[in-house]
């Protein structure tokens, strides 16, 4: 009997109708992003209260903000290549365990050094989860919906930050600042048990690693109920096979300039994003606003990111993504100026904060989707993870720089204004990426849109 033709797994994913299985994957990854956003942002919400409780100067929180972001950087650099070798699901589960446990432990911190260490270790877990939920969502999404699904999924991150802002103020008032970390630790550990059962491994990864056909077929039937498995099924992935250290592949086959421009955009925008989400509550508190309003402003920033991500994601699937994202970064610089100058007027501050989040946070989520589409399966987690890792270096510099500027005597408005330049540089990097990719030959184009 003749063997059945080899099944191209990419074609099988493209052919399948979007249904409950893909929705479940997107929803689970969005839930992880939500918890990630809550835990990443938690320290900014409690910082003014901890500073008063421990009688610390607010400027000294720069290293604590930076420690968590340093952990995010380490997690992104180390755990994203590990996922290309050991699988998306296993690294996601390990990352959830790490950031859940150490967020919970943070609730019992009683010194500056404890807080520094626990935020770093929490960050390692947070940094490992991010690139892998992006990669997993991207690898189950048909090309026509990829940017939309990745951006919708990643809306969980700013939405988690928004919920954190809405929940933190009443939690702190009722139970103290430690309750924020208790919630931020218990929730991911509960979700972890659900993920063990419900989250599938990437089909593309399984085929690339030569997994048994029976395992692939079990998932493929859930993805596409019309698929009829057979014992002699052979699966193929029509992509280059990656050998050697995956990071070096980011600079091969014409990818070097693209990779460097992506890194520049990630670095500059994550510097702005974490500068704002880390310091905005404290800076606005310093202008005389009540703590509840100061925290709410950061929730509004992240809410703007949720709306921006959805709107920009749809635009990216229809219009040139570099034009969309570059313009969003440029517009965000304008709204940062308005935030700085309008801090004393809530009717100016809140809309400007929302629109700044639309550009800064929303476009960052769009960049995640763009990056996931640029790299092939064999190095996708590495490509996304290292772009995020380089960006995390910017995210460390931003909050630390905020502390240094405050320590040097800058007022709150001037510190916020400092975020304008890197926002404009992020815009320039994306427009340069557009010019570079527009000159890509037809033979190279499939690798850029895969």
Mind listing the pLDDT tens digit for each residue in 18-46? 889 999 999 999 999 999 888 877 887 78
**Amino acid 437: pLDDT:** 55
Nearest to 13 by CA among 259, 204, 287: 204
N-to-C CA span, the chain = 35
pLDDT tier, 142 (very low <50, low <70, confident <90, very high otherwise): confident
Mean pLDDT of 330-338: 92
**Amino acid 34: pLDDT:** 92
**Amino acid 1: pLDDT:** 45
Instruction: Say if 2 falls within a structural domain.
Output: no
Mean pLDDT of 330-347: 84
CB 327 within 8 A of CB 359: no
User: Residue 306 sits in which domain range?
Assistant: 7-449
Instruction: Say if 441 falls within a structural domain.
Output: yes
* Distance from chain centroid for Cα 244: 27
**How does the average pLDDT of the chain come out, rounded?**
83
**Amino acid 261: pLDDT:** 92
**Amino acid 246: pLDDT:** 64
pLDDT tier, 8 (very low <50, low <70, confident <90, very high otherwise): confident
pLDDT tier, 4 (very low <50, low <70, confident <90, very high otherwise): low
Tens-digit pLDDT profile for residues 281-325 = 777 776 667 767 777 787 788 788 888 888 887 788 777 888 899
Tens-digit pLDDT profile for residues 250-265 = 887 778 888 999 999 9
pLDDT tier, 172 (very low <50, low <70, confident <90, very high otherwise): confident
pLDDT tier, 444 (very low <50, low <70, confident <90, very high otherwise): very low
pLDDT tier, 447 (very low <50, low <70, confident <90, very high otherwise): very low
Instruction: Say if 1 falls within a structural domain.
Output: no
Cα 419 from Cα 395, distance rounded (Å): 12
In this predicted structure, the answer to whether residue 128 has a pLDDT above a threshold of 60 is yes
Mean pLDDT of 325-345: 87
**Amino acid 286: pLDDT:** 67
Cα 97 from Cα 189, distance rounded (Å): 6
Q: What SS3 state is found at 85? A: helix
In this predicted structure, the answer to whether residue 418 has a pLDDT above a threshold of 80 is yes
Backbone angles phi, psi at 177, to 5 degrees: -65, -25
Burial class, 293, CB count within 10 angstroms (exposed 0-12 / middle 13-18 / buried 19+): middle
CATH number of domain containing 229: 1.20.1250.20
- The string of DSSP codes covering 334-392 is HHHHHHHHTTT-HHHHHHHHHHHHHHHHHHHHHHHHHHHHHS-HHHHHHHHHHHHHHHH
pLDDT tier, 147 (very low <50, low <70, confident <90, very high otherwise): confident
Instruction: Say if 15 falls within a structural domain.
Output: yes
**Amino acid 193: pLDDT:** 94
Residues facing residue 7 across a β-bridge? 235
Q: To which residue do tokens 């050998």 refer? A: 243
In this predicted structure, the answer to whether residue 200 has a pLDDT above a threshold of 60 is yes
**Amino acid 241: pLDDT:** 54
**Amino acid 448: pLDDT:** 29
pLDDT tier, 240 (very low <50, low <70, confident <90, very high otherwise): low
Mean pLDDT of 189-213: 91
Instruction: Say if 144 falls within a structural domain.
Output: yes
For the entire predicted model, the pTM comes to 0.75
**Amino acid 300: pLDDT:** 87
Q: How many domains does the chain have?
A: 1
């Amino acid at each position: 009997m003749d063997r059945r033709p080899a099944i191209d797994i990419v074609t099988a994913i493209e052919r399948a109708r979007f249904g409950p299985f893909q929705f479940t994957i997107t929803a689970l990854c969005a839930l992880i992003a939500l918890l990630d956003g809550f835990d990443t942002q938690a320290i900014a919400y409690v910082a003014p209260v901890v500073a008063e409780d421990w009688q610390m100067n607010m400027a000294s929180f720069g290293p604590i903000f930076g420690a968590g972001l340093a952990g995010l950087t380490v997690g992104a650099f180390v755990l994203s290549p590990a996922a290309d070798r050991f699988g998306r699901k296993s690294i996601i589960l390990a990352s959830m365990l790490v950031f859940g446990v150490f967020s919970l432990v943070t609730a019992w911190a009683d010194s500056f050094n404890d807080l520094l260490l626990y935020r770093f270790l929490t960050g390692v877990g947070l940094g490992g989860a991010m690139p892998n939920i992006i990669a997993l969502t991207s690898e189950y999404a048909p090309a026509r919906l990829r940017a939309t699904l990745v951006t919708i999924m990643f809306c969980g991150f700013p939405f988690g930050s928004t919920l954190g802002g809405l929940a933190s103020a009443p939690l702190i008032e009722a139970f103290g600042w430690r309750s924020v970390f208790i919630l931020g630790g218990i929730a991911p550990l509960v979700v972890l048990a659900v993920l063990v059962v419900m989250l599938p491994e990437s089909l593309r990864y399984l085929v690339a690693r030569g997994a048994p056909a029976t395992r692939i077929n079990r998932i493929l039937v859930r993805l596409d109920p019309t698929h009829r498995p057979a014992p002699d099924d052979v699966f193929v992935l029509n992509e280059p096979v990656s050998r050697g250290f995956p990071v070096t592949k980011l600079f091969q086959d014409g990818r070097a300039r693209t990779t460097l421009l992506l890194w520049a955009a990630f670095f500059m925008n994550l510097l702005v994003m974490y500068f704002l989400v880390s310091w905005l509550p404290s800076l606005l508190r310093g202008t005389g606003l009540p703590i509840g309003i100061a925290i709410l402003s950061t929730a509004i920033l992240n809410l703007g990111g949720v709306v921006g991500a959805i709107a920009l994601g749809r635009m990216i699937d229809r219009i040139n993504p570099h034009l969309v994202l570059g313009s969003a970064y440029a517009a965000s610089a304008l709204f940062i100026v308005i935030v700085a100058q309008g801090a004393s007027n809530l009717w100016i501050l809140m809309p400007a904060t929302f629109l700044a989040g639309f550009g800064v946070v929303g476009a960052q989520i769009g960049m995640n989707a763009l990056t996931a589409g640029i790299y092939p399966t064999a190095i996708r987690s590495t490509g996304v993870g290292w772009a995020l890792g380089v960006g995390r270096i910017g995210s460390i510099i931003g909050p630390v720089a905020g502390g240094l500027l405050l320590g040097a005597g800058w007022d709150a408005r001037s510190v916020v204004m400092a975020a304008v330049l890197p926002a404009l540089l992020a815009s320039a990097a994306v427009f340069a990426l557009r010019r570079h990719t527009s000159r890509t030959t037809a033979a190279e184009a499939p690798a850029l849109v895969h």
